[in-house]
Amino acid sequence: MDAIAGGRERQEGRLVQQAFQVKVRTFANQFELEDKGLRQRLASLEFEHL
């Protein structure tokens, strides 16, 4: 019985880790897009003043 319970705990741990990795990647992608948008807006403002 302990081997089965240990296997389930490891499987649940992997699922939690995978869910965390997806959230981190999603956050990183969102941050990258926001950063890219800010850089584009800043560049357009710089060219307006020239």
The pLDDT of residue 4 is 60
- Give the model confidence (pLDDT) of 18-34 as tens digits: 877 777 777 777 777 77
Helices (H), ranges, 1-50: 2-48
CA–CA gap between residue 9 and residue 32 (Å, rounded): 34
Question: Phi and psi dihedrals of 17, rounded to 5?
Answer: -65, -45
CA torsion sign for 21, 24, 27, 29 is negative
The pLDDT of residue 43 is 78
The pLDDT of residue 34 is 78
Q: What is the mean pLDDT of the chain?
A: 72
**Residue 6 or 42, more confident:** 42
Residue type, 48: E
Single pTM value for the model: 0.36
